[in-house]
Amino acid sequence: MDALLVLEDGRTFPCRSFTGHGEAWGEVVFNTSMTGYQEVLTDPSYRGQMVAMTYPLIGNYGTNPEDVESDRVQVSAFLVREYHDMPSNFRATSTLSDYLKKEGVLGVEALDTRALTRHIRDAGAMRGVISTRDLDASSLVQKAKSKPSMVGRDLVKEVTTEKPYFWINGKRVFADSHVDFFQKKIWKHKGKKPSVVAFDYGIKYNILRCLEHSGCEVIVVPASTDAKAIQSMHPDGIFLSNGPGDPEPLTYTITTIQSLIGYCPIFGICLGNQLLGLALGGRTFKLKFGHRGANQPVKNLETGRVEITSQNHGFAVDIESMKEKDIALTHINLNDNTFEGFRHRTYPVFAVQYHPEASPGPHDARYLFDDFKKMMAAA
């Protein structure tokens, strides 16, 4: 059925729905990955966004229960050039259309994703509305302008876990309500495995898989957990996860991180990198159209090695704001020379802006999980 995507600047894109009637809004962004659309759909960092895939054919391998990065679809809507309704993959248990319908998420095809991508690259990511019910462009422009901006919104509260849980054998394990997580004896393998508390700002499952695979025992806690509660657990290390939106409104988390710097080793990625930058006195800013895809080149300044990385973020740390801090810049983006990683010169703290766990994407940066384990052992 006919649908219309309208951006807040008035640009319109006719299309058609492959999931039935619906209307959705969000910041319109694009992803350059050739595969991994189910991982993209379920990545909490996409909360509040409508995602367009630049690769033209989507849906050809279907969906399955394993290739998810959270407990639900996170995107506001899914925008593709050509949808394929007959998947050919032995792992597929459902079509993409049925998967999105079950999750109540609008999917559209026959959209000129190349024109949309070029427009976003020129004008920047912006709010948009897509609808099958209202095809009046002027009406949809007004709706788009009335929606809240990505800047200044706390989206972490929408995606973080409500209560702590263990990550065991690739699955979340919630304890009975009477179990007190915030105590030293909560760890089942203390002294045998490094104990890691992972802050859930919108954490991807594959991060937890990588931490577990590197030999760590992992407990995931809500984003609002304070420093005193973390210290009562006596972890060997702290992990700051990815997540959606603007880092600056997350003052409660920034204060917690400031209290934990120097307490034990800290490893941050994506939003975790930005929050560490703010905690150390730096600044963040909104990128024009963000970095989203599994083919982003990053240079490791300490080794000279170039890594092809998976990324998904619309904000970044301002390099200039970190120059007077006690940090060493370790990674830089080769497309636009933006801040991609650092380590602290005094404390056992390091972070990267990209996703070393990938999913989807290359595994060039998986070594960072082993570096974190070595840092905990040294501490």
Tens digits of pLDDT across the chain (379 residues): 999 999 999 999 999 999 999 999 999 999 999 999 999 999 999 999 999 999 999 999 999 999 999 999 999 999 999 999 999 999 999 999 999 999 999 999 999 999 999 999 999 999 999 999 999 999 999 999 999 999 999 999 999 999 999 999 999 999 998 999 999 999 999 999 999 999 999 999 999 999 999 999 999 999 999 999 999 999 999 999 999 999 999 999 999 999 999 999 999 999 999 999 999 999 999 999 999 999 999 999 999 999 999 999 999 999 999 998 999 999 999 999 999 999 999 999 999 999 999 999 999 999 999 999 999 999 9
Query: Is 291 a catalytic site residue?
Result: no
Q: Outline which parts of the chain fall under CATH 3.40.50.880.
A: 156-378
**For 2-146, which CATH class?**
alpha beta
CA-to-CA dists, residue 312 to 184, 289, 294, 342, 361, angstroms? 35, 11, 9, 18, 11
CA distance linking residue 156 with residue 275, whole number of Å? 12
CA distance linking residue 121 with residue 253, whole number of Å? 31
CATH label, 156-378, candidates 3.40.50.300, 3.90.190.20, 3.40.50.880, 2.40.50.140: 3.40.50.880
CA 66 and chain centroid, separation: 18
All residues at 6 or more sequence positions from 177 whose CB lies less than 8 Å from its CB, including other chains: none
Query: Is 270 a catalytic site residue?
Result: yes
pLDDT at position 177, please?
A: 87
306: number of Cβ within 10 Å = 12
Full-model pTM: 0.97
Token pair 């304070």 in the structure block, residue: 226
The angle subtended at Cα 39 by Cα 38 and Cα 40, nearest 5°, is 90
Q: Which of 84, 119, 291, 355 is catalytic?
A: 355
pLDDT at position 160, please?
A: 98
Q: Which of 27, 216, 270, 331 is catalytic?
A: 270
Q: Outline which parts of the chain fall under CATH 3.50.30.20.
A: 2-146
Query: Is 357 a catalytic site residue?
Result: yes
Of the candidates 183, 155, 161, 135, the residue with the CA atom closest to the CA atom of residue 76 = 155
